[in-house]
């Protein structure tokens, strides 16, 4: 018996990184999984790699989470092909880092569009089904950057916005059997942090080593660390938890 037997989980931005790690965990625990990502071929390729259990399925859906028509079509396709929707993980994300005086309006709009508007559009499309069936789990991916991070005014604002959005959905949707929570990762070894290393003109391994050294638990995080927290919050064991943000960061946000 898996915690997600008979459930359908939709994870955005899951063709790689944290999203793929999370999709893998949902599949291992019995869910049918829809990987939603910008590139349909990449989404389908990732879905084909998931360790789905007997009786469950995995599909890849190409969609842009910051576009309402694309989101509505994606959610309807998931419901039609997988027979419903029970869990939504808003994970899709991008960075457009720069100091404020160099940050362009496009850098701002793009980051807000994917993280904040994307989470809003996906939650809105999914809640229709969740309310009808009086059951649903939403897990939004925030970040320790919500607490402030040099060069990330756009990303930080979006990730703290996610936390306010999560609290509000907790209040609004709780009466309908829907739990909404957030996970705020610290440094997780993915292509996103590899790209940061490249921007800083640092070797990826050296960048990870320095981040591990500075962390209270002396290591960097991996997608599996985030997947464990997300699946807990999406499980029925967490049904009395809503509106919360859990920091999964090895304690780095505690300060020194
Ligand atoms: P990643 O490896 O860059 O993966 C992000 C995925 O999201 C990519 O597959 C990307 O597709 C997809 N995506 C981007 N824009 C999209 C859109 N408009 N619609 C649908 N999909 C879209 O990132 P990650 O490191 O796994 O991060 C996942 C989430 O965790 C993000 O929300 C990120 O902000 C958050 N986070 C990450 C860290 C970390 O240390 N890695 C820390 C804190 C929070 P393309 O490849 O086609 O662009």
Instruction: Please write the tens of the pLDDT for every residue from 218-237.
Output: 999 999 999 999 999 999 99
Does residue 134 contact residue 176 with C-beta atoms inside 8 Å? Answer: yes
Task: State which ligand 1 atom lies nearest to the alpha carbon of 64.
Answer: 19
Starting at the earlier edge strand, list the strands of the sheet with 178-185. 58-62, 32-37, 8-12, 87-90, 136-141, 178-185, 245-248
Task: State which ligand 1 atom lies nearest to the alpha carbon of 92.
Answer: 7
Active site residue 247: no
In a domain, 255, yes or no: no
Residue 87 and residue 200 in one domain? no
* Ligand 1 geometric centre to CA of 201 (Å): 21
Residue 145 and residue 53 in one domain? yes
Residue 140 and residue 229 in one domain? yes
CA distances from 203 to 127, 194, 206, 241 (A): 43, 9, 5, 40
In a domain, 17, yes or no: yes
pLDDT at residue 249 tops 90:
yes
DSSP 39: -
**Can you give the CATH number for the domain in which 244 is found?**
3.40.50.720
pLDDT at residue 256 tops 90:
no
Task: State which ligand 1 atom lies nearest to the alpha carbon of 95.
Answer: 34
* Ligand 1 geometric centre to CA of 235 (Å): 23
Written as six digits, the tokens of 63 are: 């969609």
* Ligand 1 geometric centre to CA of 93 (Å): 4
Q: Which residues of 87-117 are buried (b: 16+ CB within 10 A; e: fewer)?
A: bbbbbbbbbbbbeeeebeeebbebbbbbbbb
C-alpha–C-alpha distance, residues 33 and 58, integer Å: 5
Residue 241 and residue 194 in one domain? no
Pocket of ligand 1 (CB under 6 A): 12-13, 15-19, 37-39, 64-66, 91-94, 114, 118, 141, 143, 185, 187-188, 190-193
* Confidence at residue 44, expressed as pLDDT on a 0 to 100 scale: 98
In order, the DSSP letters of 102-166 are: G--HHHHHHHIIIIIIHHHHHHHHHHHHHHHHT-EEEEEE--GGGG--TTBHHHHHHHHHHHHHH
C-alpha–C-alpha distance, residues 121 and 70, integer Å: 10
For residue 34, the SS3 value is strand
Total of domains in the chain: 2
HSE value, Cβ hemisphere, 13 Å, CA-based, for 93? 25
Using 50, 70 and 90 to split pLDDT, how confident is the model at 179?
very high
Q: Taking the model in full, what pTM does it have? A: 0.98
pLDDT at residue 105 tops 90:
yes
| 133 CB neighbour count, 10 Å cutoff | 13
Predicted confidence (pLDDT) per residue in 191-218, tens digit:
999 999 998 999 999 999 999 999 999 9
Residue 213 is part of which domain span?
187-220
Written as six digits, the tokens of 20 are: 């793929």
* Confidence at residue 1, expressed as pLDDT on a 0 to 100 scale: 85
In a domain, 128, yes or no: yes
In a domain, 205, yes or no: yes
Predicted confidence (pLDDT) per residue in 27-85, tens digit:
999 999 999 999 999 999 999 999 999 999 999 999 999 999 999 999 999 999 999 99
HSE value, Cβ hemisphere, 13 Å, CA-based, for 204? 8
Does residue 58 contact residue 47 with C-beta atoms inside 8 Å? Answer: yes
pLDDT at residue 239 tops 80:
yes
Written as six digits, the tokens of 208 are: 């990870």
Average pLDDT over residues 226-249: 98
Residue 82 and residue 177 in one domain? yes
C-alpha–C-alpha distance, residues 233 and 163, integer Å: 15
In a domain, 254, yes or no: no
In a domain, 1, yes or no: no
* Ligand 1 geometric centre to CA of 55 (Å): 29
Residue 165 and residue 192 in one domain? no
C-alpha–C-alpha distance, residues 91 and 19, integer Å: 6
Does residue 174 contact residue 242 with C-beta atoms inside 8 Å? Answer: yes
C-alpha–C-alpha distance, residues 156 and 93, integer Å: 12
Residue 182 and residue 192 in one domain? no
Task: Name the percent of the chain lying above pLDDT 70.
Answer: 100
């Amino acid at each position: 018996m898996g915690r997600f037997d008979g459930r359908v989980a939709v994870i955005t931005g899951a063709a790689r990184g944290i999203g793929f790690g999370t999709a893998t965990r949902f599949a291992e625990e019995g869910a049918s999984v829809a990987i939603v990502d910008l590139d349909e071929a990449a989404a389908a390729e990732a879905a084909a790699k998931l360790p789905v259990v007997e009786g469950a399925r995995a599909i890849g859906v190409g969609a842009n989470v910051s576009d309402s028509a694309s989101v509505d079509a994606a959610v309807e396709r998931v419901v039609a092909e997988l027979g419903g929707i029970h869990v939504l993980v808003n994970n899709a994300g991008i960075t457009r880092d720069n100091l404020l005086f160099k940050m362009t309006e496009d850098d701002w709009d793009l980051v807000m569009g994917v993280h904040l508007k994307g989470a809003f559009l996906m939650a809105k499309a999914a809640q229709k089904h969740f309310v009808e069936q009086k059951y649903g789990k939403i897990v939004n991916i925030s970040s320790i950057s919500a607490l402030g991070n040099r060069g990330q005014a756009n990303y930080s604002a979006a990730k703290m916005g996610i936390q306010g959005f999560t609290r509000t959905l907790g209040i609004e949707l709780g009466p309908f059997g829907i739990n909404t929570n957030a996970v705020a990762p610290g440094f997780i070894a993915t292509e996103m942090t590899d790209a940061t290393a490249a921007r800083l003109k640092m070797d990826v391994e050296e960048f990870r080593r320095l981040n591990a050294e500075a962390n209270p638990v002396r290591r960097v995080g991996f997608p599996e660390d985030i997947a464990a927290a997300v699946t807990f919050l999406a499980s029925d064991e967490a049904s009395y938890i809503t509106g919360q943000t859990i920091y999964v960061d090895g304690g780095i946000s505690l300060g020194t």
